[in-house]
Structure 1
Amino acid sequence: MIVADRDGALVELNDAAQLLWSDAVRGDQLLDTVPSWLAEAHGRFADGAPEGSGQAAGTVYDRFFEAHPTPADDGDVVWWLVDDTDRRLAEAALAGARQRSALLADVSSQLLSTLNVTRCMEATARMATDHLAEAALLVAPPQGRRHQLTYAYRGGPVTRATAPVDVHAVPGLAEALQGFPPVPARWINPADLPGWVQPAGFAGPVGSVIVAPLPGHGVPAGALILLRSSGEQAFSGDEELFARLFAARAGAALSAARLYTEQASITATLMRELLPPRLESVHGVEYAGAYRPARDNERIGGDFYDVHPGTGPAEETLVVLGDVAGKGLDAAVLTGKIRNTLHALLPLATDHERTLTLLNSALLSSHHTRFATLVLASVRRRGSKVELRLTSAGHLAPLIVRGDGTVEETATRGSLIGALPKVTSATAHVTLRPGETCLLYTDGVTEARGGPLGDELFGDHRLKRVLAECAGMPAEAIVERIQMLAAQWVGPGSHDDVATVAISAPRAADLTVVGGQRSAGGTTYRRNG
């Protein structure tokens, strides 16, 4: 408490005020004793300012005070000084904590919005220079002897490099890349840093350094190096702690992006093995296939087909088309097992019944509870004709499209695979004349539900009528037409997996090479160039 008269002379100080101004005595002028902010506030209040308007605040040495005036009866003014330092420090700390929390939330939001590792590293480096340091370097885990480096400095571009760097030259960097706790910044001598740590364009010299690990999901995601020049204030303890929190968020985002990239690569590799192959002519016989999964976004499902060419024109080519119970990834896993098993059984494929029996045993002995239907077609060309051996295992019988538009259903039948201990089957022998086609298909075609009212099946009769119109067409055109009409029939409604394979004998009017020119049916096609 301080009491002063109207003229600004000290009248009284209590013990607490005397501790602050130990040399002050009665009669001293406020301007010569207390801080100017308090003396000026007294002058305004003494000159007749309304009560309550004379409140003031300011520092006394290293403390912050609020001053509240109270007029005395004799005209003096009593100033009550309240030490407000702790409250203000607490409010500042709370505001800083809120700001840091908001920044960390923003960091997580921005970094987790991308699953691209390179973009995530660039965003981390950029945000580090925006909020933490003048320059930043992200060091990715080693790939062989090389590290991917991402540089950024405030006001400059983000750059990348891949180089064989000595991580042991930076104190704490090798440990950070192994996931060990960070080395305190005060232990790092900036003068010992190698030149590759600083981004091109950074003014330097380095005055303060933080090396923080980027923790990932069980595996370190890299390390973050933060730099400040000697002209800037060194990193404080609170800033170092916040940098570690920032690095933890960045590490989680980088780890998620890297995990997604690895899983996407694995998925793509497995997908290539599960997707049906692209078909083409083999030993003069025309093959075409098409597949449409039940779920358009999955690309795979329970229907499949394969063509295994014979070693030469005299050897049979094995065509397989099948349908596993179910849809999506679970069904696709079993199709992969069936396709791999059939590939291993190719040396025995001339005996359809034995092949189906061995496949059935393999499925029954596995953990899968699904069953499958399929049809085997052994194909061999005989001059201008094609001989087929067709065996169904619980599958729809193949259809033969004759040259005159007649559509025949082959006389093959058999029990499905993976459900019964014994397989029975009957093989049909068919000969295709030039331009004739054998169609293998799954029930996704005939059981496609749609039409004008949306509840009618596409059906066998409609499929045969369409095939009759396709007489003489190339195998690829037939497959495309069946797939197109089935899709149009269903419309936007749900549908099952759809797979079709067409096997066509070479047409009499197929292109032949004559004296450097191609001719067909009297029309000449010259080579370009």
Structure 2
Amino acid sequence: MVTVSSWLRSPCPALVVDAVGAVHGMNDAARTLFPEQVLPPDLRHGESVHVADRSYAAHRVDNEDGSVTWWLLDETDLLLERDRAALLARMSSELMTSLNPERCMNVVAELAAEHLADEAVVIAPPSGNGHPVTRCLRGGTPTYELQRVDVEEVVGLSEALRGFPPVPSRWIDPAAAPGWLAQDVVSIVVTPLPGHGVPAGALILIRRDKQFTEAEEAFARLFASRAGVAISAASLFTQQASITERLTRDLLPPVLHRYEHVELAGRYRASGDTERVGGDFYDVHELPDDQLFVLFGDVCGKGLDAAVQTGRVRTAVHALLQVVTDHDQVLHALNQALLTTDESRFITTVVGTISPEAGGLRVRLTSGGHLPPLVVRTNGEVEAARNKGTLVGILPKILTETDEVVLAPGDSLLLYTDGITEAHGGPLGDEEFGEDRLHRALTACGGMPAEALVEHVHMLASQWVGGGEHDDMAVVAITAPRRRPS
């Protein structure tokens, strides 16, 4: 039971109202809140009432004499913390949906302008020719651009952008703020955006009508810490994705094109649908006298490890060709290089030198344990090149065999990996595509341009596999151009 003395001494505002709504008594806390002793007109049990920029939850207690005691419980700080928790949850949810730094900066600026300031500016560390900057006015749309700004003009900004050692928020004299940052404002706070061991940038909060309080600045630091983690994660992901793309591009076979005397075309498909690189490879190098050196092969295994080995092979051959172009010497040197490399994988390969001659092409081929290339004549005849050899990178010495193929105008030489012939598929999904099926398919390809030939073979193998598993697939066509009418 609440005694008269206890409710009068309570720090919680309390008012006693009679049956007609007249105020009969107040404690000291209520008199401070309602100096004119006027009851708020919208007072209802269980609902909130706003008085002097604060919010109170009204609770009614009926007394025996018919009067009512109203207790007003200050819930301002509770509601503020609830709103702030909701803001942090909303920001985390929106930032989790993107690993794009620009998108993250826009989200942070927009939420900060909506809940913390009249305007928010997010500045990231320098990138290229300037600083990525996002601005947003309350109720507006964030704008992102790369700007050349002098961060030394803003006190604490350069320190915040460096990220280490950690620095506190800085209150900026609005009169000292440069024009590019803000004009006609009354309060500016610069808060660092701490990231995962790397600086994510700085959040600048701007107000035009009132100062920031210490409590607001403290929450801004908490807001900035969540934002900084998300922005830095997005930046790191973007950097890693860029590095991965650059490395992947170097591991992929090159795009082949038509030379003056030779048509070249290639197709490549990695074993996994989500992978871009694998263990099949090909490369073309220009030699003197309009000659071309072709490297084609297959690394034992598949996936990233095999792709790394293809990069080593292609780099090694490129270096060897600066001093020697003889097939046997290139393959023997490559064999020694692979044997002396830790965690190396053996390969099958075929190298060829293409020489233009009157009426067509002469191709000299040397095999390092690879499948014999196929010659496709314009009349549909298909024949295999006569060269064999041992695997490269597994024995101290290798045996090689060289063959020469003459291509008349319209004839093609097809290089392919076992991913084509060993592709499992068909009606039951367990039958190899096989060399016989490839030979029969090529009889209908006489006279095809190089681009059409490789596309046709690649399409047949892909259709045979369907959605099943397969090894890396690579195919290259070397075609003697048809004579143009004079």
TM range (shorter): 0.7 to 0.9
Match of 2:103 among 111, 119, 126: 119
Match of 1:455 among 396, 411, 430: 430
Matches within 5 A, 1:135-150: 135-143=119-127, 146-150=130-134
Contact 2:8 2:26 in 1 (8 A): no
Deviates more, 1:347-356 or 1:210-219: 347-356
AA in 2 matched with 1:456: E
Match of 2:186 among 192, 207, 214: 207
**Distance verdict in 2 for CA 1:421–1:69, change over 3 Å:** same
Match of 2:40 in 1: none
How far, CA to CA, are the matches of 2:50 and 2:92 in structure 1? 39
Give the % identical residues.
Answer: 49
Match of 1:34 among 26, 39, 43: 26
TM-score by length of 1: 0.78
Match of 1:274 in 2: 251
CA-based RMSD of the aligned residues comes to: 3.5
Matched, 1:474 2:453: no
Question: CA shift at 1:113, angstroms?
Answer: 1.5
Matched, 1:303 2:280: yes
How many residue pairs align between the two structures? 461
Match of 2:113 among 124, 129, 139: 129
Cα deviation code 1:10-68 (max 9, x no counterpart): xxx64884899xxxxxxxxx9576369999xxxxxxxxxxxxx9999999999999785
Cα deviation code 1:389-443 (max 9, x no counterpart): 1111111011122343322222211111222222211111222233222111100
Matched, 1:366 2:329: no
Matches within 5 A, 1:48-447: 68=61, 71=64, 88=73, 93-143=77-127, 146-179=130-163, 180-184=165-169, 187-198=171-182, 205-230=184-209, 232=210, 234-313=211-290, 316-447=291-422
Contact 1:283 1:381 in 2 (8 A): no
**Distance verdict in 2 for CA 1:511–1:15, change over 3 Å:** closer
Match of 1:511 in 2: 484
Contact 2:169 2:221 in 1 (8 A): no
Match of 1:500 among 460, 463, 475: 475
**Distance verdict in 2 for CA 1:361–1:105, change over 3 Å:** farther
Q: What secondary structure does 2:186 align onto?
A: strand
How far, CA to CA, are the matches of 1:33 and 1:159 in structure 2? 56
Q: What secondary structure does 1:295 align onto?
A: coil
Question: CA shift at 1:485, angstroms?
Answer: 1.0
AA in 2 matched with 1:380: S
Contact 1:182 1:213 in 2 (8 A): yes
Cα deviation code 1:89-141 (max 9, x no counterpart): 5x654554343233212212212322222222122111111111110111121
Unmatched 5+ stretches in structure 1: 4-12, 21-29, 40-52, 199-203, 515-529
Question: CA shift at 1:144, angstroms?
Answer: 6.5
Question: CA shift at 1:355, angstroms?
Answer: 0.8
**Distance verdict in 2 for CA 1:57–1:402, change over 3 Å:** closer
**Distance verdict in 2 for CA 1:258–1:418, change over 3 Å:** same
Larger Rg: 1
How far, CA to CA, are the matches of 1:366 and 1:166 in structure 2? 50
How far, CA to CA, are the matches of 1:441 and 1:65 in structure 2? 83
**Distance verdict in 2 for CA 1:305–1:349, change over 3 Å:** farther
How far, CA to CA, are the matches of 2:7 and 2:448 in structure 1? 107
**Distance verdict in 2 for CA 1:101–1:307, change over 3 Å:** same
TM-score by length of 2: 0.85
Question: CA shift at 1:324, angstroms?
Answer: 0.9
Q: What secondary structure does 1:281 align onto?
A: coil
**Distance verdict in 2 for CA 1:455–1:98, change over 3 Å:** same
**Distance verdict in 2 for CA 1:236–1:426, change over 3 Å:** same
Q: What secondary structure does 1:255 align onto?
A: helix
**Distance verdict in 2 for CA 1:77–1:429, change over 3 Å:** closer
Unmatched 5+ stretches in structure 2: 12-21, 32-43
Question: CA shift at 1:464, angstroms?
Answer: 0.9
**Distance verdict in 2 for CA 1:486–1:97, change over 3 Å:** same
How far, CA to CA, are the matches of 2:202 and 2:155 in structure 1? 12
Cα deviation code 1:183-208 (max 9, x no counterpart): 455x432332222212xxxxx73222
Q: What secondary structure does 2:237 align onto?
A: helix
Contact 1:283 1:312 in 2 (8 A): no
